[in-house]
Amino acid sequence: MNYKKYTRMYHPVPLENREWCNKEITKAPIWCSVDLRDGNQALYSPMTIEEKIEFFEYLVKLGFKEIEVGFPAASSTEFDFIRRLIEEDRIPDDVSIQVLTQAREHIIARTIECLKGAKNAIVHLYNSTSTLQRDVVFRKSREEIKQLAVDGAKLVKELVDSQLDGNIRYEYSPESFTCTEMDYAVEIVNAVNEIFEPTSERKVIINLPSTIEVATPNVVADQIEYMCKHLNHRENLIISTHPHNDRGTGVAVAELAILAGADRVEGTLFGNGERTGNVDIVTVALNMFTQGVDPKLDLSHIDEAIEIFERCNKMPIDPRHPYAGDMAYVAFSGSHQDAIKKSFDRFEEHPENKWANPYLTIDPADIGRKYEPIMINSQSGKGGVSYVMENKYGYTLPKKMLVEFSATINDMSDAKHTVLENEEIHMAFKDIYMNLNSPIKTYSYKSQHDEDITIVNAMVEYNSKVSSISGKGNGPLDALCAGLRKFLGIDFEICEYTEHALERSSASKAATYIAIKENGDDKKIFWGVGVHQNINTASIYALVSAVNRMLMAEDKQK
């Protein structure tokens, strides 16, 4: 890799009293969706007019007040779509449509023609200003490029004044702004504004795009702050940013641009756009949301946004998207799973508290998602297994049993070389621990109390033979233990017992967990689980299950 063919061209701007690095984002910017223009032009199969209308109406539903709807001079589809929006009165009175035009006479004329009858619109004029574009593409001087912008602004203003009756505002973009010398960027924007004449009642939008990312986000922040401090009539300007994502830092650029003084952000849902895409407005907005800032967009049903995006754009959302991805709320690491579960539990106990979770910056419920399954693989720990068993099936496993079962699940996943589905974990739990009836099966039992003694009589099957057993103890379980010890010729005692209602069951059931310990040198522990509508029967099943696991272990050793 010949890195020497590249050179560092873009450096922090010399700024006195640099301010952006000490600021915080405290309010949402003006959002402008460019899905229907910048996003649409970057699709393998651009949207049909019907798809564009559906997408436009959904953007309005989300809360966008400014929507770039197309490049009218680019094609008849673009032109006809915009005309339908206007003629069919599909644009709410509080929404401005935005149209893009190069600083070329015939393109400007076609653009203004398209806007006839529009109530609120923005004419977005642009021309490229960077050193490389001037020298290589246009082969024009700084003065010639500036004159192109000025002439374009004059024609836009003349045609707007003479042909349009609505509330028409102006926007100017020095395309490739971040690759343009700052003094020249100020010069050309000021020259355009002399034509557009911004006022407090009719502010001009100055869009400063990262048409291609070429530097770290702090450099862009310097450039935005420099422009804010050097442009004439700053109080009558709306400074906008339009970040692309060539270096993968589009979101960071947008956020730092806001800190540096940008009032407005142009971008797309989920970051669709030329090459590596535009800035992802969903991510920027939800980043604000997670910091307690109202994003002014309704993203409470994010799956709905995903559905329409994927259908109209014919593009998938990455499963690792920060908020919308299928894997966004899934944890594999054991330590992550444990921390997530404990945080869920604490938040449920104290919902009045502010959201705080070590591995989830947002409560998925706030965007219409659920605490999706914690996926279990060979790297997972007891926290993930505990979450699945409790939240999906209602079992609260004792801690010592959870350690044992989690190790078994990890071994299963390791052997399978993939994640285990929730039902696989549930089935393993039932097969290993629950209501086991082999080698020994209990058919019936009766207990009676005689002063402080409980006597249990039971019918059991063992080695294909049905027998009657009896035992005495201080309760039914203790008495059954005595009967089983005598009948089987083994020595053990109960060392753990817990129970709870199985609330997630379709019927009212109880779950009982019993651990028995061998009396001897090894003192191995065997867990069993019983589930039944009757708590006493559940306890009997749990004890017999634990004994069966002990008998199976002994048979395996033999």
Note every long-range contact of 16-20, with CB atoms under 8 Å and residues 24 or more positions apart, other chains counting: 18/222, 18/225, 19/225, 19/260, 20/221, 20/222, 20/224, 20/225, 20/256, 20/259, 20/260, 20/261
Helix (H) or strand (E) holding 226: helix 217-230
Superfamily covering domain 440-557? Alpha-isopropylmalate synthase LeuA, regulatory domain (3.30.160.270)
pLDDT digits (tens, 9 = 90+) for 142-201: 999 999 999 999 999 999 999 999 999 999 999 999 999 999 999 999 999 999 999 999
Q: Does 290 score more than 80 pLDDT?
A: yes
What CATH number labels 27-313?
3.20.20.70
Burial class (CB in 10 A: 0-12, 13-18, 19+), 63: middle
pLDDT digits (tens, 9 = 90+) for 434-487: 999 999 998 888 888 877 898 989 999 998 899 999 999 988 899 999 999 999
Looking at mean pLDDT, say which of 11-15, 309-313, 326-330 comes out highest.
309-313
Residue 49, pLDDT score: 96
401, 513 in Cβ contact below 8 A?
A: yes
Burial class (CB in 10 A: 0-12, 13-18, 19+), 391: middle
pLDDT confidence band for 504 (50 / 70 / 90): low
Count of beta carbons in the 10 Å neighbourhood of residue 396? 15
Distance CA 337, CA 378 (A): 13
Residue 3, pLDDT score: 87
Mean pLDDT over 73-79 rounds to 94
Residue 315, pLDDT score: 94
pLDDT digits (tens, 9 = 90+) for 372-404: 656 676 666 677 788 789 888 999 999 999 999
Q: Which residues contact 475 (CB under 8 A, 6 or more apart)?
A: 454
Count of beta carbons in the 10 Å neighbourhood of residue 452? 6
Instruction: For residue 444, list its beta bridge partners.
Output: 459
Q: Which residues contact 461 (CB under 8 A, 6 or more apart)?
A: 440, 441, 443, 467
Identical fold for domains 27-313 and 440-557, yes or no, is no
**What percentage of the chain reaches a pLDDT higher than 70?**
97
Both tokens assigned to 161: 């004044």
**Average pLDDT, rounded, for the chain:** 93
**Segments making up each domain of the chain, as ranges:** 27-313, 334-433, 440-557
Mean pLDDT over 221-240 rounds to 98
